[in-house]
Structure 1
Amino acid sequence: MNTQFKAALLTEDTRFYEEIKAPSMEEQEIRLDVYRNNITVSLVEALCDIFPVTQTLVGDDFFRAMARIYVLNNPPSSPIIREYGQNFSDFVRNFEPAQSLPYLPDLAALEHAMLTLTHSEEYETLDHQAVSEAFASVEDPSVLSLGVPPTTQILVSPFAIGSLYQAHFSDGHQRLNQVDITKSEYLLLVKSHLYGQLHVIDKEEAIFIKNLMQEKTLENAIPESDAFDLGETLAKLIEWKILTNITQTKTN
Structure 2
Amino acid sequence: MNTSFKTALLTEDTRFYNEIKAPNIQQQEIRLNVYRNNVVVSLIDALCDIFPVTETLVGDVFFRAMARIYLLENQPSSPIISEYGVNFSDFIRTFEPAENLPFLADVAALEHEMLTLTHSEEYKTLDHDAVSTAFSSVEDPSVLLLNVPPTTKILASPFAIGSLYQAHFSDGHQCLNKVDINKSEYLLLIKSHLYAQLHVIQKEEAIFIKNLMQQRSLEDAVPDSDLFDLGKTLAKLIEWKVLTQIK
Q: CA deviation at 1:3?
A: 2.4
Following superposition of structure 1 onto structure 2, how do residues 1-16 of structure 1 map, counting pairs within 5 Å?
A: 2-16=2-16
Following superposition of structure 1 onto structure 2, how do residues 59-138 of structure 1 map, counting pairs within 5 Å?
A: 59-138=59-138
Q: CA deviation at 1:123?
A: 0.4
Q: CA deviation at 1:11?
A: 2.5
Following superposition of structure 1 onto structure 2, how do residues 149-188 of structure 1 map, counting pairs within 5 Å?
A: 149-188=149-188
Write the deviation string for residues 167-195 of structure 1: whole angstroms up to 9, x where unpaired. 00011111110000010000000000111
Output the CA distance in 1 between the equivalents of 2:99 and 2:16.
38
SS in 2 for 1:155: strand
- How many residues align structurally? 247
Q: CA deviation at 1:9?
A: 1.2
Q: CA deviation at 1:145?
A: 0.4
Q: Which moved more, 1:223-232 or 1:154-163?
A: 223-232
Following superposition of structure 1 onto structure 2, how do residues 36-51 of structure 1 map, counting pairs within 5 Å?
A: 36-51=36-51
Output the CA distance in 2 between the equivalents of 1:15 and 1:34.
17
Output the CA distance in 2 between the equivalents of 1:244 and 1:201.
19
Tell me the TM-score normalised to structure 1 length.
0.96
Output the CA distance in 2 between the equivalents of 1:50 and 1:4.
27
Q: CA deviation at 1:17?
A: 1.9
User: In percent, how many aligned pairs have the same letter?
Assistant: 79
Output the CA distance in 1 between the equivalents of 2:177 and 2:7.
43
Output the CA distance in 1 between the equivalents of 2:200 and 2:60.
27
Per the alignment, residue 231 of structure 2 pairs with 231
Output the CA distance in 1 between the equivalents of 2:111 and 2:243.
24
SS in 1 for 2:145: strand
SS in 2 for 1:231: helix
Q: CA deviation at 1:29?
A: 1.7
Per the alignment, residue 29 of structure 2 pairs with 29
Tell me the TM-score normalised to structure 2 length.
0.98
Output the CA distance in 2 between the equivalents of 1:199 and 1:184.
14
Output the CA distance in 2 between the equivalents of 1:240 and 1:219.
22
The root-mean-square deviation of aligned C-alpha atoms, in Å, is 1.0
Output the CA distance in 2 between the equivalents of 1:26 and 1:81.
32
SS in 1 for 2:135: helix
Write the deviation string for residues 133-185 of structure 1: whole angstroms up to 9, x where unpaired. 00001000111000000100000000000000000001111111000001000
Question: Do residues 210 (structure 1) and 210 (structure 2) align?
Answer: yes
| Structure 2: runs of 5 or more not aligned | none
Write the deviation string for residues 22-53 of structure 1: whole angstroms up to 9, x where unpaired. 11122212211111111000000001001111
Output the CA distance in 1 between the equivalents of 2:179 and 2:18.
55
